[in-house]
Chain A
Amino acid sequence: MSGVRVLAGTRKGAFILISDGKREKWDISGPHFAGWEIYHLKGSPADPNRIYASQSSGWFGQQVQRSNDGGKNWEPVDNKFVYEGVPGTHQWYDGTAHPWEFKRVWHFEPSLNDPDTVYAGVEDAAIFRSTDGGKSWQELPGLRGHGTGPKWQPGAGGMCLHTIVLDPSDAARMYVAISAAGAFRTDDGGTSWKPITKGLHSGFLPDPDAEVGHCVHRIAMHGSRPEVLFMQKHWDVMRSDNAGDSWHEVSGNLPTDFGFVIDVHAHEPETIYVVPIKTDSEHYPPEGKLRVYRSRTGGNEWEPLSKGLPQSNCYVNVLRDAMAVDSLDACGIYFGTTGGQVYASPDSGDTWTPIVRDLPAVLSVEVQTLK
């Protein structure tokens, strides 16, 4: 029987929620790695029992944990992330040059085909790869070294590479997003990279149309249409129909186009979801009403989804890695909040229910559909 496993990373540990295909009753385990920040957990598409977890602490740094049995047991693997060559400098918050320093792993993206191959997006922004199940990590230095690295600067959350999107139709192509450097694409397996920011406009930049410096919050893709990308930028919801070569805005009738998450329905590549957040200094929903917005037209025309979500006095945030979808026949949508709730909708967003409440602040949500 099919089922769903939700992997929730929080400010003070990881939690794993399991349900059958009805998605009504949930068994919850955790906290795993209690007291540590779990920025992200993600399972391998090639072997769902293989899960990678980023465990970090302001005191004790980065650990990488690996499970081979769906999160029941964990083993630490290599936590040594060393930049290739002379790390160089990027811009600091005040515009001065600042040396590149590894701080933490924000995001793991396991290979679509090989459980032992996994990419890690880190702060200070870089991408690393392991081909031995996390036992060793090597940087793909062409990203930092492609020329604009010294101009990159941290967003408010740090200079993090937080999004890695793999193209299921082309193993050599992938996308990354960095706050606040922008978005980049490789067409040769990570050797060389180029900015893909044409059409992005950011008013906080001296040149709003600059090649780098955009604060991209999240990029999403539907596997059946890998050339179509959706982006939640600091402000603006954007769309590309040519693999990021150019972007156009699809914010349409959203109440605000600031936000962090964006995701795509598992079976409808033109159905997308965002959670509008009031402003970049007011990280909570407009009017204190938590609403997911859905577009069935690939953007521009949006409908609020609020049934089951708090519609008064709600002032949580939904962070950039905290939305995911399952691939059951009625696509399930999931998101976590900084208030510690994980909400699920088993009917593509029409109705919502909290499948757990009162966790530590949720940093990330991933979903595995189990056969």
Chain B
Amino acid sequence: MIRVVLPAHLRTLARVSGEVQLDVDGPITQASVLDALENRYPVLRGAIRDHVTKQRRAFVRFFACEEDLSHESPDAQLPEAVANGTEPFMVVGAIAGGCRVNPVGRA
């Protein structure tokens, strides 16, 4: 069982409270965990990573075991503690995020 912690806005969007628990087949990687998460909660498609390229959104980060895994390969094995459910895989809205891609925003 993989434990996933979502930020508040995504919990609201997915209509869940607390941690999400997922069964993930095969290797436990960012990609496989996010695939399972999006299959369970289709509304999260596009909210964490791009629909088409599957690239992580710029202001979303992935933490686990007190490490920032955001820049690891999506296909790299996640830590054993995540794979065995001891530690959660955390999807985090970056503290520096939220600024608009364009410099001004709606006008």
Contact = CB atoms under 8 A, between A and B. Distances in A.
B64 interface: no
B10 interface: yes
Interface stretch (B17-25, B29-37, B65-73, B96-104): B96-104
Q: Which among A59, A82, A93 has the greatest number of chain B C-beta atoms within 10 A? A: A59
Nearest to A361: B106
B43 to A, nearest CB: 5
B88 interface: no
Interface in A74-133: 76, 79-80, 82, 93, 101, 103, 106, 123
Interface string A299-317: 0000000000000000001
A158 B104 contact: yes
Interface of A: 35-37, 39, 57-63, 76, 79-80, 82, 93, 101, 103, 106, 123, 154-159, 179, 260, 283, 317, 319-320, 363
A154 B102 contact: yes
B1 interface: no
B105 interface: yes
Contact of B98 (A39, A58, A103): A58
B99 to A, nearest CB: 6
B94 A59 contact: yes
Interface string B72-100: 00000000000000000000011001111
Given A157-B106, A179-B107, 18 more contacts: A58-B59, A59-B57, A59-B59, A59-B94, A59-B98, A60-B48, A63-B13, A79-B51, A80-B45, A80-B46, A82-B51, A103-B101, A103-B102, A154-B102, A155-B107, A157-B104, A158-B102, A319-B107
Contact of A79 (B7, B45, B60): B45
B16 interface: no
Given A59-B94, A76-B43, A157 B101 contact: no
23 contacts: A39-B106, A57-B9, A59-B7, A59-B59, A59-B60, A59-B98, A60-B9, A60-B13, A60-B47, A60-B48, A60-B60, A61-B47, A63-B47, A76-B13, A76-B43, A80-B45, A93-B103, A156-B103, A156-B107, A158-B101, A179-B107, A283-B107, A363-B106
A37 B51 CA distance: 20
Given A156-B104, A157-B104, A82 B52 contact: yes
Contacts of A93: 103
A157 B107 CA distance: 6
Nearest to B102: A158
Contact of A58 (B7, B10, B43, B100): B100
Contacts of A158: 100-102, 104-105
A63 B47 CA distance: 8
Closest 4 pairs between A and B when the two form their complex, measured CB to CB: A158-B102, A157-B107, A58-B98, A60-B47
Nearest to B94: A59
Nearest to A33: B12
A85 to B, nearest CB: 13
B37 to A, nearest CB: 13
B105 A79 contact: no
Contacts of A103: 101-102
Contacts of A79: 45-47, 51
Contacts of A101: 101
A158 B103 CA distance: 8
Contacts of A80: 45-46, 51
A200 B51 CA distance: 39
A60 B101 contact: no
Contacts of B105: 157-158
A108 to B, nearest CB: 14
Q: Which among B46, B102, B103, B104 has the greatest number of chain A C-beta atoms within 10 A? A: B102
A101 B53 CA distance: 12
Given A59-B60, A283-B107, A157 B102 contact: yes
A315 to B, nearest CB: 15
Nearest to A60: B47
B30 to A, nearest CB: 17
A38 B88 CA distance: 31
Contacts of B103: 93, 156
